[in-house]
Amino acid sequence: MKIIMLGAPGAGKGTQAKMIAEKYSIPHVSTGDIFRANIKNGTELGMEAKRYMDEGQLVPDELTVKILLDRVAQDDCKNGYVLDGFPRTIPQAQVLDEALTKLGESVDYAIDVNVPDENIVKRMGGRRACVTCGATYHIEHVPPKKEGVCDKCGSELILRDDDKPETVKKRLSVYHAQTQPLIEYYTNKGILKTVDGTVDMMDVFASIVEILG
């Protein structure tokens, strides 16, 4: 079972990907994690990616797909995997499809965790992070015992720049321009499934389990 997770930043697709991975005993494959692992281990592909990153450039799609295929060729992926953070654009999806076709494989499901922009701006604007230990809270859903203070270490909680409304709106506009066309791409392939991401996290997961069977 090969699954691609789609959804705007803050829609909760990473959380759902982890839960799917656990339930179906397949790896949660995050492109960010693979890059970091390859760079840390000094692999040839990792060093090539690092050269682009050090120059502040995006890693080319072909190289990203190579690193990804290298990861999904490992034994733990033989029963499938959940891809999180890739593809982000139509060209990336096409390169991935071509590479999988050569292996006689294909993606089974593209799951879109659908959340309206205003919900995401509100959701991310409510996040708070500890400046010392990195623990995260949400002023509505997971509030600290004392406002503005971390339960774990007593340090100050802050709204990260990434979660500020103006930053979130910018990230959403990039998402709509680059990643949203994938919704149509996977719809045309007949593998797109959409779930309502505004409901409780466990209800979102129940909808996904219903799709996957």
Catalytic residue, chosen from 13, 71, 123, 128, is 13
Residue with tokens 């060209």: 91
Q: Among this protein's residues, is 13 annotated catalytic?
A: yes
Residue 204: Cβ within 10 Å count: 24
Q: Which amino acid is at 10?
A: G
| Catalytic-labelled residue, pool 2, 66, 127, 128 | 127
Query: Which residue bears the tokens 């991310």?
Result: 124
Q: Let me know if 128 is a catalytic residue.
A: no
Q: How many CB atoms lie within 10 A of CB 22?
A: 11
The residue type found at 164 is K
From residue 207, give the alpha-carbon distance in Å to each of 125, 193, 202.
Answer: 26, 10, 9
Give the active site residue among 71, 88, 123, 128. Answer: 88
Give helix 31-40 / helix 61-72 axis angle, nearest 10°.
80
Q: Is 36 a catalytic residue?
A: no
Active site residues: 13, 88, 127, 160, 171
